[in-house]
Amino acid sequence: MAVADFEYRKEKKAKKKAYKELKEIARSEGKEPPPDPYPSAIKEIQAEEKKYVMDRFYNPKVIEIANKMKEERDMLLQDRAASGQW
């Protein structure tokens, strides 16, 4: 496992170095640097989920569903407290 991890890190480092050199070449030629060919996987996932996160706060249907779930949870907690199961 450690060998595979080492190889992965080495490969990733080489890719980053190559991209860094590409950016330097583009800057020296006065051009705009190319987009990052190896973007962060976390940022990609966040970009995909951004729409749904915004819906959670601004879409009236989603807000209504969330409020219903909160009411149900509150009722359940009150029932537990009243019956002494908590």
pLDDT tens across 9-60, in order? 898 899 889 999 999 999 999 998 888 777 778 888 888 888 888 888 888 9
| 65 — pLDDT class (breaks 50, 70, 90) | very high
Measured CA to CA, the distance from residue 53 to residue 57 in angstroms comes to 7
Q: What are phi and psi of 10, to 5 degrees?
A: -65, -45
pTM: 0.43
Measured CA to CA, the distance from residue 84 to residue 86 in angstroms comes to 6
**pLDDT over threshold 70, residue 85:** no
The per-residue pLDDT for 6 is: 86
